[in-house]
Chain A
């Protein structure tokens, strides 16, 4: 009967050491790349970010050509000089990239609750926190590579578009390399924020709405409706995740604004607080 086949245990092949963090990382990597929609979503993020940067580069040259004098056009847009526009072209897809990565971060964890997969995850790693940390780490690294990679490709694509207008720039120009790297850093931190929200809410729709509300709606509300309420509101708006992220990829820092490192500290604090909250809540609650 079939049970005699079952009864032949393969202790030799399966006995070995137990759970460790490297193994959980590997497991989470397998989980990430074996759901087709995740891979598709990541590819779309890369394509959208590169596409937006190319469009932005082309639009810049068109604008400058129309107005004849590059110097003049730059002044009309209120920017100090042309390079401060062109040099941030590599990361110009970030605004959409962070919404896509944010949504995906929520989906990756909330879908585990939605489908029941979380029970398999937590039975395999019953201490729970290492499982969540591994998932966060894998996705944060992927988000970084997507962001920095897209920005680097965008930089390369933008040069031939900008060259006819003599707007081309180099990786060695001031702030350019940091801008490209930080496009990845912002996405990585946004990924952690979104996945933590997904972990706390355990619900895909609720998590995506909350994340988009935090990244997109809240800054608009603060800038328009709430700004008149008190003097400190616009001041506090600098500490929203989206504003802090913008400063991380800025090349020219306006007076009174956060610089790149301060932006990184603020966004990092958002990520850390939400991450710790999500870990503590998951450790305590029933799965």
Chain B
């Protein structure tokens, strides 16, 4: 159980985390979703006491992290794949961390096997790939067999097999009744792994709800229609909160009317319809809608083809 109350972190005039309150419950995977720079990592660093909050507080299992007698047994954290001395071997790194808590070497070997690091355990960490570094970070997080597991962007750099492994790991840990808090900027990953979502943007909590609820709240049902007479169909459907977008000359996306009503209207008005596909709102769309105003770094629109052509003509 992680409880944050009024948590804030300011760097000079810049606010990274702005008065955030949330609770992460045991027994399920809680996703921490937000665009880059939204404050996910800063929040996680405050949970384990690496950053001191500017105001507010955060506790794990009822106490501040630093006040636990055996912090690694309470919380296992993967905060940054690069939290290892590059000249030390993976085995020695884990052995040094385990020594602080009197965790035996047998457990070190166990987490090495668990994370598939066996073949490279005696090699310098400096030569590790991103994925191997990630596995070592996860091994370190599991070292103390903790009640709470915090993983910051755990699938970064992992191959598909590794991504699936992390997914199973997170779900397995939650099924054992542990608290699992997982951050990502990838909605698709969250849709597959998380039970509950906390969405953060520009340092503020935008949503905190079960994943299904976030999807149904944000995404309205839409229907894709192909017809040879779109303007007639739009006219016939108009009113009653029905909106439509013409995506192609003969393709429409209609919101506010279900497929049955669209088909009935088309029949009544003698409009030919040759495709009628109900579209499920995805988490991705819900997320884009939620975070639209809170993306810190917007990409600029790509130059239009016509503009490029215009430049060409000018020369």
Residues of A within 8 A of B (CB): 1-7, 9-11, 13-19, 23-24, 26-28, 30-31, 34-37, 111-112, 115-120, 122-127, 284, 286-287
Contact = CB atoms under 8 A, between A and B. Distances in A.
Given A30-B99, A115-B84, A120-B83, A10 B77 contact: no
Interface string B62-90: 00011011111100010110111111110
Given A23-B100, A27-B97, A120-B93, 6 more contacts: A7-B172, A18-B101, A27-B96, A115-B86, A120-B140, A286-B50
A119 B172 contact: no
B315 interface: no
Of all A-B residue pairs in the complex, the 6 with the closest CB atoms, nearest first, are A18-B70, A3-B168, A3-B172, A126-B66, A18-B69, A27-B99
B183 to A, nearest CB: 16
B202 interface: no
A124 to B, nearest CB: 4
9 contacts: A1-B168, A2-B114, A16-B101, A18-B69, A27-B97, A112-B85, A117-B84, A284-B52, A286-B50
Contact of A5 (B50, B89, B92, B114): B114
A18 B175 CA distance: 26
Given A13-B104, A117-B83, A120-B97, A4 B88 contact: no
Nearest to B65: A126
Contacts of B142: 6
Nearest to A16: B102
A2 B165 contact: yes
Interface string B96-115: 11011111101100100010
A31 B96 contact: yes
A123 B102 contact: no
B87 A123 contact: no
A24 B89 CA distance: 19
Contact of A13 (B97, B106, B165): B106
Nearest to A285: B52
A124 B66 CA distance: 9
Contacts of B45: 286
Given A24-B100, A35-B87, A6 B172 contact: yes
B102 A23 contact: yes
A120 B137 CA distance: 9
B101 A23 contact: yes
B224 to A, nearest CB: 37
A31 B207 CA distance: 43
A23 B50 contact: no
B189 interface: no
Taking chain A's interface residues, is the majority helix, strand, or loop, or is none over half, making it mixed? helix
Contact of A117 (B65, B71, B73, B85): B85
Contacts, number: 142
Q: Is the interface on chain B under 10, 10 to 19, 20 to 34, or 35 or more residues? A: 35 or more
Interface of B: 45, 48-52, 65-66, 68-73, 77, 79-80, 82-89, 92-93, 95-97, 99-104, 106-107, 110, 114, 140, 142-145, 165, 168-169, 171-173, 175-176
B88 A35 contact: yes
Contacts of B99: 23-24, 26-27, 30
Contact of B79 (A26, A27, A123): A123
Given A7-B176, A27-B96, A35-B87, A14 B171 contact: no
A119 B168 contact: no
A9 B202 CA distance: 38
A201 to B, nearest CB: 18
Nearest to A22: B102
A86 B268 CA distance: 116
B85 A35 contact: yes
B26 to A, nearest CB: 14
Contacts of A36: 87
Contacts of B102: 16-18, 23
Given A6-B114, A34-B96, A123 B104 contact: no
Contacts of A24: 99-100
A19 B176 contact: no
A3 B50 contact: no
Nearest to B46: A286
B100 A19 contact: yes
A119 B100 contact: no
Nearest to B170: A3
B71 A126 contact: yes
Contacts of A284: 52
A19 B48 CA distance: 15
Nearest to B11: A286
Nearest to B93: A120
B85 A14 contact: no
